[in-house]
Amino acid sequence: MAAAGRRILGLDPGLQRTGWGVIVTDGNRLTHVANGVIMTEAKAPTPERLSQIDRGIEAVIAEHRPDEAAVEETFLNRNPGTTLKLGLARGVVLLTPARAGLPVAEYAAKEVKKSLVGYGSADKAQVAAMAARLLPGVEFANEDAADALAVAICHAHASAVTNRWEAAVQRTVTRRAGA
């Protein structure tokens, strides 16, 4: 495993199941570290379920020590109650890594799909197949964990482009200042 690389935690929010995946990116090379799912008790009150998600993410962060996190944005559901509960879970998923001092990026589902498959309306099977191809030997804990790894990969790709762009701008500024 590349010790010099960036360690990225990808998160796929859900009240019942929150998927997580950790990768290391070193240049163009991606390495799978771990993945899993945080399950909440279906009959527990919502505040307790949110606390279970928080504790689960805290444990993942403590064990895998990511440098940054990426979270998939959630879509609106037809059922307003379900949408609200998913929004609450997403809030915890955004808050927990931020509270741990990690920078947190957000990506729309279409952006994640396009980053991996090249098509924003790809289905879950296509996304999982490409994630498996980019992370040879990976075994997904479930589809939520596969989605979380896809978010981490999307972030690795997006931040690599941003870093190259910022470096190019800095070189230009430095050259002009020296001229």
Q: Which tokens hold the place of 52? A: 């279970």
Q: Is 26 a catalytic residue?
A: no
Alpha carbon distance 146, 11 (integer Å): 10
Residue of 26, 63, 123, 144 with catalytic role: 144
**Cα separation of 35 and 139, whole Å?**
8
| 123 is known as an active-site residue | no
- Helices and strands per DSSP (H, E), number in the chain: 5, 5
CA distances from 121 to 21, 38, 44, 153, 163 (A): 22, 26, 34, 17, 27
Structure tokens at 54: 């928080």
Please identify which of the residues 41, 72, 73, 143 carries the catalytic annotation: 72
72 is catalytic: yes
Please give the positions annotated as active site: 12, 72, 144
